[in-house]
Structure 1
Amino acid sequence: MRRSGSREVLTQDPSPPPSFIPEPPKVRTQSTSRTDSSRGYDSHSSSTLSSEAPGASRPLPPPEEDPASRSFMGKVKAFEKMEHLAKAQRILELQEAENARLEIAQKHPDIYAYDEDEEEYRRQLADQTKRGYNYNPKKYKDTEL
């Protein structure tokens, strides 16, 4: 009985898409009949509506193909683009977090108070983070990159 139930579900699934497909033409015919009744026998009004309907459907399928599907270099470029966007998003998140920390510290100075030495240490860490890891060039003179 479970199989028959699943078959009934399978037979019911294809029926909604055909009922969905005829609806857009019904809307178009109603809109053309409205314009025809308002303008009389003018055939140009129906031709403009028919030209507008395909124009409305043109933006739906994108004419540009995904470069990742074409070649390896396209995949590399798509990856680089995604990586760049992810890095930009991460930088924005870090800036928002820092702004939130500053705002909270201003609202509650007694809770988030720290010494000037610690503040200087935090600035140095922030500068190192902005420049990148292992930035001390004196430390790595003998290595080639």
Structure 2
Amino acid sequence: MGRYKYDRFKGRFSDETIKAIISDLKGTADFNEEDYDWTLLDIRVKRANKAQRHRFADTIRKLEEYMNNNPENEFEFNEDGIFSNHLITVREFSKITGRNRKTVEDWMRKKLISYIDRGRSYYRLIDIEKAIEELKKNISHQQL
């Protein structure tokens, strides 16, 4: 079986809904409306990853707690030229949040959190405020 869990829903839908689905599918290659029985639809929907949402929420809580306890950190301009005073390394992010360093790097690779790359001789820096915004955005997208 696959890595993700899906739920299936069988049901009858209004003519308007069926027409909307058909018009959306017409843009795909090799689609012929006459090949299908439109009286009963079987819909498969990917189940939301609740554990991932909870990890994000826990990470956000720990980062906000850290910011409140450390109002001044390293002062620099981030990649957008915006002044930030909460820049931390991947190692510090991992220590603050309790997340494995590989998890943090995986989130960075998947663009769930952005970072500033200072080149080979420097560390990658994460802007805490921006990371919190991005994680909150990902929680809201997963709840849809």
The normalised TM-score by structure 1 is 0.24
Structure with bigger helix share is 1
Greater RCO, CA 8 A, separation 6+: 2
Larger strand proportion of the pair: 2
Larger-gyration structure (1/2)? 1
